[in-house]
Structure formats: C-alpha cells, structure tokens
Amino acid sequence: MRKKSSAPTMKDVAQEAGVALGTVSKVINGIPVGESYRIRVEAAISKLHYQVNSYAQGLKASSTHTVAVLIPNTKNSYFAKLTNLINLSLTRRKYRMLLCCTDYDPSFEQEYITMAQQNKVDGIIGLTYNPNLLINPDTPFVSIDRIMGANIPCVTCDNFMGGQMAAEKLADLGCQNVAFLRIGSSLTNEPNKRRAGFENGCLAHGLHCETKMLEDDDSIEEFEIFLRERMQNGRLEFDGIFCSTDLLAYHTIQMLDKLGVRVPEDVQIIGFDGVQLFGELDYICSTIVQPVEDIAEMCVQTLLQDTLTARPPLICLPVSYAAGGTTKESVPQNHQISTRSIR
Amino acid sequence: MRKKSSAPTMKDVAQEAGVALGTVSKVINGIPVGESYRIRVEAAISKLHYQVNSYAQGLKASSTHTVAVLIPNTKNSYFAKLTNLINLSLTRRKYRMLLCCTDYDPSFEQEYITMAQQNKVDGIIGLTYNPNLLINPDTPFVSIDRIMGANIPCVTCDNFMGGQMAAEKLADLGCQNVAFLRIGSSLTNEPNKRRAGFENGCLAHGLHCETKMLEDDDSIEEFEIFLRERMQNGRLEFDGIFCSTDLLAYHTIQMLDKLGVRVPEDVQIIGFDGVQLFGELDYICSTIVQPVEDIAEMCVQTLLQDTLTARPPLICLPVSYAAGGTTKESVPQNHQISTRSIR
DNA sequence: TTGTATGCGTTATCAT
DNA sequence: ATGATAACGCATACAA
C-alpha cells in the first residue's frame, strides 16, 4: 500500500533514497553532490516516477517559465502561423505558452491580461486592439503591430515599405489607375502605414490612386457598391488594386468575378500578409509577404532578453513580394503556376 | 516608498485593511464576512491593485484550472480551427490552455506530456501519434482520432460513414471507376476507417475502386507516377477520386492539372476534413466535413466532466458532405459558386 | 559536502 | 463571524 495516493514529492524521494530533502533538490537542479548520493537519489526518482511540481517551483521562484500569447484567433491563417511559430520559439527555449484567443474583444483582451498576471507569467506577447489596455508595468509585454506606450516594444513588419512595394509593383506591371481598399480596425496601428506607403509609392511612380476604407462595422458589400460605381460599359476604371490584407483581396476577387471583371487580365490585385493555403503551400493571391518567422522569433527574443534596457520601441522587419496569380508577371513564377493550376 | 517592489500579497491587503489574513481570503473566495469588513478589504484590494497568485492557489489546491492541448501544429487549417475552438470552449469554462505543438514528433509528444504533468494540469487533450505514449493515469486525458487504451476516451468523427458518403456521392454523380488515395501515418488510428468506409460504399454502389496508399516517408510524387500509369490516350481511367484529406486532394488536383486532366469535368474529387479558406470561407474542394465545433466541445466536456465513470471509450460525431467545386453537382450549391469565382 | 530550517502566497482548520 | 496557524512542495541560506 502506498503512503499517499497523490503524486510523490521530494520528501518521498528523500525518504526512499535515505538522504535529506536538500540533497534531492540539489540533484534535481544539477548542483554537484557526492556521486553515491546522486545515484541513490536518481534511482529513487525513477522508482517513484517523481516529477517536480512546477507550481511549487513557481511559487518559490516567482518565475514560471510561462508566456501568455494574446491573439484574436487561430482560424485566420496568418494568426495561426504566427501562433505556431511563437510556440516553437518558446518551446525551444523551454518556455510554456498560454494561448489566449481574444476574438478581437477588448474586454476579453483585458481579462486575459489580468489572468496572465495572476498566473505570474514571465511575459506577454499580444496582438491586441483595446486602446486602453491596462498592463501591470512589471510584466514584460511585447506588442505586435501596435505601439502601446513608451516602455512597450512593438514588433511589426515594414508596413510602409510594403505599401510602397505594392505601388511600385503595380506600376512595373503596367498599371496606371489604381485603388487602395482597406477594412478593419479604425485604431491607429502599424498596418495603417500600408496606406501611406502605397499612396507615397503611387505618387513616386505616377499612378493615379483612389482610396476606399471601411470601418469595422461596415458591411463588406460596401466595396461591391464602390466597385460597381467605378465601372463604365462593363469595364472597371482601375487596372490595379492594392488590398490591405489577403483576406480582403480574396473577397475583392470574388466581387470582381460577380461583376464580370477578370483577374489579372482586367485588373491586377496585390494583397498583404502572405497567407498560404494549408499554411505552407500556395499563396492565395499576389501579395506582400510578412516575415512571420522573423516576427515570431523577434517577439520571443525581445520579450525574454534580460537586458530590459536598450529595447528599441519599434522593431520593423522587412517584407517581400510574392506573385500569386493575381498579377501579370512577365516571368512566370513558381507560385503563380501552382496557384493557377487549381483555378 | 513602497514596502516591496514585488506584487502585493494577501498579507499586504490584510495589513492595509487592518484585518486578518483569513478574512481577506474569505472575501476573495466569496465566503460571507461582515459587511464592514468586506468593504474595507475590497477597498484595500483595489487600492493596492492586488491580484491572487494562481501559483500559490495551485500549490494549495493541486488543481490549476489549466488544460494542455497537444496538436501537431496550428499551421494546418484543420488543426488551427480545432485549436481555436478548444480554446474558446475552455475559456468559456474559465480554464487556461497550454498550447503544445508537437510537430508530429513522438519524443516532443512525450516531453509535452511530462511537462504538462509537472505543471499539474487538470487534464490533457491530445491529437498524438506516438504509439507508446506514457501517460500518468491520474491525469485525465482525452484523445482525438486515436484509441489509446481502455480508460482513455477518444473523440473522433464518423470516419467510416464519411468514407461511405464519399463513395455514395461519387456514385450519385455518375462515377463508375474510382480511386482512393491516402498518405500519412501508418499508425492504426481512426481516420484509417475512411478507407474501409469508402471501399464498403463502393461495393454497395457498384463502383470499381482501386486504392493507393503511401507511407509517411514516401514522396508525394509517387501519386503522380501512379496517376500517370493510369492514363491512356490522355485520358485518366478514373472518373472519381476520394482523397483521405483535403490537403491530399489539393495536391492531387495540382498533379492532375499537370497531366492535363480537368477537375471536375474529367474526374471528380472529394476530400476529407472540410478545410476552408481563411478558416471560415470557401471549401478548398468538395469534401466530407468534420464537425470541428462539436469535436472541440466534446473533448472539453468529456475531459472536464467530474463523473469519470460512464465515459464511453469512443465518441463518434457525424460528418456531412459539402460541395466545393471539384464535383459536378446537378444543383449548384453556395460553396461551389463562390469557390469557382476565384478559380 | 550534506542536512536543517525557513519562507514563498494561499487556503482551511481551528480556537476565540 | 473573526483571527491565528498549519500545511501545500520546493529552494536556499545557513548550520553541521
């Protein structure tokens, strides 16, 4: 009959091995002890299937080797991939990850922050929208895509450059009259710079550009109305469209299809994010690709580096362009071919 | 100057409120105390911004309100959605979720299990492949898609029925000579029943069926060779193909495109899983849809129900069929239309 | 080098 | 009803 029905503790191990509690602790933490002691302790550990209790450890050390990740959801392919990569990066460093899907809800975001702090996490990585998020300043926080305050580092991609690249690309591909479509949070976050970059790029390359932005609560159908208004004799007046996200690009392509406008023959489309089918196959559309791997790694690295000083407030990672079948590349590219193949 | 630089504790609250420690605890846990005391304690709490330390709680209660979820990754859209839904379901019940991406690696799976148990999680939900996973029997475990042992509940969809439905559908759509393609784990898991169901359905509906299965380490190109061998005069000998997953269906469509075979005109294709673009938009292909919402909810419910008895060993949830543009439906369906629109 | 004792923050049991 | 005190399992400073 076992002494206890519950899990064995260090005390049990010490008793089994016939040594003192402190010795067991030392063996577990790799602090040198006498060879014979070590062997006896290790034998006892494996005999009892002893496992340390991280909660007791955490209580003692007030560091839990756990990081909370706040993200709207993991359904959206971009978020899903980001979550996956952050998880891998944390795991590599022996950190645990608390997943917190906020569903874009500001109050959920706040609740999760509170929860995380109660749970004494070592840090929080958050892609959040709540403008007045209350964060205890002694919990390290790294923000994605939004500048939150003086002492909170923000990791993002070079959204401005991405917008510029999109404009440049469309110009290179022969466009003259382009549109920028955007929907989503009216919050001042980094992705908003996509617009500024695009307009800047249009100016530089002599493109005429019209911008149409929707608010969160607007229906996506507004775009359809907008596009319909810009048609004359069955022809769209734009020959290029830059969408603020791949998701929006996808919707736009569907709308254009309904209107009888062909992509990329009549109008070329570039999205943003670099969303791929099944997370690693073909791009949904021609797109400005975010360096998700680097973003994930940078978040974790920035969060966990001990030198809290010298943390730059804004870390901007470079983007790249990938053809995805919704633009007329002169030299066919891999992705374009494969994407076309399922169309 | 603050007494401590670290977070305030119950003791601080008690001192601030001028009451005893136990009283503070009672207020926090909703145990009735005198009105005047309660008010003073609550005032002190908000003044000090006190938050309970879940680690101390967990140490005391040896229950942490935390569940670990083991999943290969969150890049694959199906896993991503499942993860998201499990997270929502857990959050609704005020449980925290530890995300553990195993990358299909048996040793990662084992390490995560060990970690989770050290972390005193209240339970584990796992979609795993390691055939000899060592699980401490007093940590509740719910398996997805694989039967792991007598006392471990397994939640899965009705894979056999799904296979049957695919066969029936192909027969209804006029197919006569079909193929079943499968790749992946050679492990005996529930999704293997897709094949049995399909062959059974073929038999019942007079379809001639050929099966081609690849092992984990085989290259996907093997399928291309297989398909090429089944072509005569530029025509494929099959008029229908059932793929064990949507991902495989997608690859197959690409291969067929290379071979000059049209989908769905020359050959109709049905996949399995119900993967959607952006996690909630169009299906990638015509497919047998897994009830992801129900699977997620059932996992959580089964894991957290206190009556550990009466847990059925295998919980099989019904699947459904959805057209996705890779079959020739007589009556056009929504998804088909919208999918076509981007093709 | 090994063992002992104390405290981490909380809850629960017990006197008061 | 309220307050003191003893665990929970571990780490560590200190004594042996």
The two tokens of residue A285 are 């559309």
| Alpha-carbon distance A80 to nearest alpha carbon in chain B (angstroms) | 5
Measure B305 CA to C12 C1' (Å): 25
C5: residue with closest CA to C1': A22
Residue numbers of B between 72 and 111 with CB closer than 8 Å to A: 73-77, 80-81, 83-84, 87-88, 91, 96-101, 103, 108
Residues of B whose CB is below 8 A from A118: 51-54
Give me the mean pLDDT over the B267-286 stretch.
95
Report d(CA A279, CA A258) in Å as an integer: 27
Dihedral sign, Cα of residue B140, residue B146, residue B151, residue B157: positive
Of B58, B84, B115, the CB nearest to A74: B84
Nucleotide nearest to B29 (CA to C1'): C11
The phi and psi torsions of A35 (rounded to 5 degrees) equal -50, -50
Residues of B whose CB is below 8 A from A117: 51
* Location of each CATH 1.10.260.40 domain in chain B: 10-52
Residue numbers of A between 211 and 270 with CB closer than 8 Å to B: 247, 250, 253-254, 257-258
For residue A307, the model assigns a pLDDT of 65
End-to-end CA distance of chain A: give it in Å, rounded.
Answer: 67
Closest CA to A75 of B323, B276, B237, B309: B276
Give me the mean pLDDT over the B125-133 stretch.
95
The two tokens of residue B310 are 């009466």
Name the least confident of A154-158, A231-235, B207-211, B337-341: B337-341
CATH classification number, B10-52, choose in 1.10.260.40, 3.30.565.10, 1.10.645.10, 3.40.50.1820:
1.10.260.40
Report d(CA A270, CA A79) in Å as an integer: 20
Query: Around A52, how many Cα atoms within 13 Å sit in the side-chain half-sphere?
Result: 15
Closest CA to A4 of A50, A55, A73: A50
| Alpha-carbon distance A207 to nearest alpha carbon in chain B (angstroms) | 27
Report d(CA B33, CA B26) in Å as an integer: 7
pLDDT in tens, chain A (343 residues): 333 457 899 999 999 899 999 999 999 998 888 889 899 999 999 999 999 999 999 999 888 999 999 999 999 999 999 999 999 999 999 999 999 999 999 999 999 999 999 999 999 999 999 999 999 888 999 999 999 988 899 999 999 999 999 999 999 999 999 999 998 777 788 999 999 999 999 999 999 999 999 987 888 899 999 999 999 988 999 999 999 999 999 999 999 999 999 999 999 999 999 999 998 899 999 999 999 999 999 999 999 986 656 667 899 999 999 999 999 987 554 433 333 333 3
The phi and psi torsions of B309 (rounded to 5 degrees) equal -70, 175
For residue A216, the model assigns a pLDDT of 79
Of A53, A59, A98, the CB nearest to B118: A53
Nucleotide nearest to B34 (CA to C1'): D1
Residue type, B49: H
Of A51, A77, A98, the CB nearest to B77: A77
Query: Around B147, how many Cα atoms within 13 Å sit in the side-chain half-sphere?
Result: 12
Q: Is the pLDDT of residue B334 over 50?
A: no
Report d(CA A14, CA B266) in Å as an integer: 72
Give me the mean pLDDT over the B162-178 stretch.
97
- CB contact set of A313 (below 8 Å; sequence gap of 6+): A147, A150, A152, A153, A154
Confirm if B241 and B261 have CB atoms less than 8 A apart.
no
Of B59, B103, B114, the CB nearest to A59: B59
Strands A268-273 vs A287-289: parallel, antiparallel or unpaired: parallel
- With residues binned 3-state (H G I as helix, E B as strand, rest as coil), the percentages for chain A, rounded to 5, are 40, 20, 40
More confident position, A215 or B255: B255
Write the pLDDT tens digit of every residue in B14-61: 998 999 999 999 999 988 888 899 999 999 999 999 999 999 999 998
* Location of each CATH 3.40.50.2300 domain in chain A: 64-157, 159-290+319-342
Q: Please report which residue ranges of A49-186 form alpha helices under DSSP H.
A: 54-61, 77-92, 106-118, 159-172
- CB contact set of B136 (below 8 Å; sequence gap of 6+): A7, A49, B117
Choose from A29-43, B154-168, B179-193 the range with maximum mean pLDDT. B154-168
Residue of B nearest to A102 (CA): B88
Q: Which fold has domain A64-157?
A: Rossmann fold (3.40.50)
CATH classification number, A159-290+319-342, choose in 1.10.287.180, 3.20.20.140, 3.40.50.2300, 3.40.190.10:
3.40.50.2300
Give me the mean pLDDT over the B182-211 stretch.
92
For residue A343, the model assigns a pLDDT of 34
More confident position, B15 or B85: B85
For residue A248, the model assigns a pLDDT of 95
Helix axes A21-28, A35-48, angle to 10 degrees: 90
For residue A326, the model assigns a pLDDT of 96
Give me the mean pLDDT over the B137-151 stretch.
91
Report d(CA B113, CA B127) in Å as an integer: 12
CB contact under 8 A, A87 and B97: no
Write the pLDDT tens digit of every residue in A107-152: 999 999 999 999 999 999 999 999 999 998 889 999 999 999 888 9
Sheet holding A240-243, edge to edge: A208-214, A177-183, A240-243, A268-273, A287-289, A320-322
Give me the mean pLDDT over the B60-85 stretch.
95
pTM of the shown model: 0.93
Residue of B nearest to A342 (CA): B254
